[in-house]
């Protein structure tokens, strides 16, 4: 007899209750798509932790990190938590940011917020000190630029520069009458508030809640999951 592994959705925790609600909603939407046990765990700030949830689940496991770039949590923190939990057998998928459904959501949110052709565009990201994750964010900006047929300038809500507010000011100083910020964040919280306070004419909502990120999680799971013996 064979069975499909469970899915552990690993998210970055937040103290904002709206962000936590989004995480639970994403897990529920994903469960409806994959139709396997879907567990939610937090890589930081909140409980239950990734290691605790992984250790408590006895069967095969696919861990999908709900992150938009492969920074510290994806490359180091989550793998280390799985090792400490004795779950070296768990399969860890890539992060979500490279999935087309996530990029499509960012473009759709931006247009819904009031983006007009001709607007200067900033991609508002969380920020990272990991050069590989930073490269992921620049690739995301390039992908949105191809979709919108206009340059997209990455900027950051924390950790590294330029800040979103500084990037908006820079584009205004360069002569752009309107500046739009596309949100490269999954949920509401402090970083989204920093995007909203950047002085842009248009600020898109975060990517969730939206059906597309759940489809991206489900796709990551299906790519990794193979039936394993009971």
Q: How does pLDDT run across 197-224, given as a tens digit for each residue?
A: 999 999 999 999 888 999 999 999 999 9
Which of 217, 17, 44 minimizes the C-alpha distance to 126? 44
Q: How does pLDDT run across 138-171, given as a tens digit for each residue?
A: 999 999 999 999 999 999 999 888 999 999 999 9
- State the pLDDT at residue 219: 96
- State the pLDDT at residue 15: 82
pLDDT range class, residue 228, cuts 50, 70, 90: very low
- Strand order across the 152-156 sheet: 152-156, 120-125, 179-183, 202-203
Percent of the chain having pLDDT more than 90? 81
Q: How does pLDDT run across 81-97, given as a tens digit for each residue?
A: 999 999 999 999 999 99
- pLDDT of residue 227 exceeding 60, the answer is no
β-strand partners of 163: 156
Q: Are 126 and 137 contacting, i.e. CB atoms less than 8 angstroms apart?
A: no
Give the mean model confidence (pLDDT) for residues 51-80.
94
Q: How does pLDDT run across 37-62, given as a tens digit for each residue?
A: 999 999 987 899 999 999 999 899 99
């Amino acid at each position: 007899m064979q069975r499909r592994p469970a899915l552990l959705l690993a998210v970055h925790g937040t103290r904002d209750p709206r962000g936590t609600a989004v995480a639970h909603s994403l897990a529920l939407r994903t469960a409806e798509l994959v139709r396997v046990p879907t567990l939610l765990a937090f890589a930081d700030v909140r409980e239950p932790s990734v290691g605790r949830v992984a250790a408590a689940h006895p069967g095969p496991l696919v861990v999908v990190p709900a992150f938009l770039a492969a920074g510290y949590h994806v490359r180091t923190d989550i793998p280390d938590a799985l090792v400490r939990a004795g779950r070296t057998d768990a399969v860890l998928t890539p992060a979500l940011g490279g999935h087309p459904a996530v990029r499509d959501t960012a473009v759709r949110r931006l247009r819904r917020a009031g983006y007009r052709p001709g607007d200067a565009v900033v991609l508002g990201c969380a920020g990272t000190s990991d050069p590989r994750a930073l490269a992921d964010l620049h690739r995301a900006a390039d992908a949105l630029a191809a979709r919108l047929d206009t340059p997209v300038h990455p900027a950051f809500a924390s950790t590294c520069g330029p800040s979103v507010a500084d990037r908006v000011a820079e584009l205004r100083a360069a002569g752009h009458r309107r500046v739009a910020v596309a949100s490269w964040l999954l949920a509401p919280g402090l970083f989204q508030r920093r995007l909203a306070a950047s002085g842009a004419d248009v600020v898109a909502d975060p990517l969730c809640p939206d059906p597309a990120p759940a489809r991206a999680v489900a796709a990551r799971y299906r790519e990794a999951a193979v039936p394993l013996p009971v």
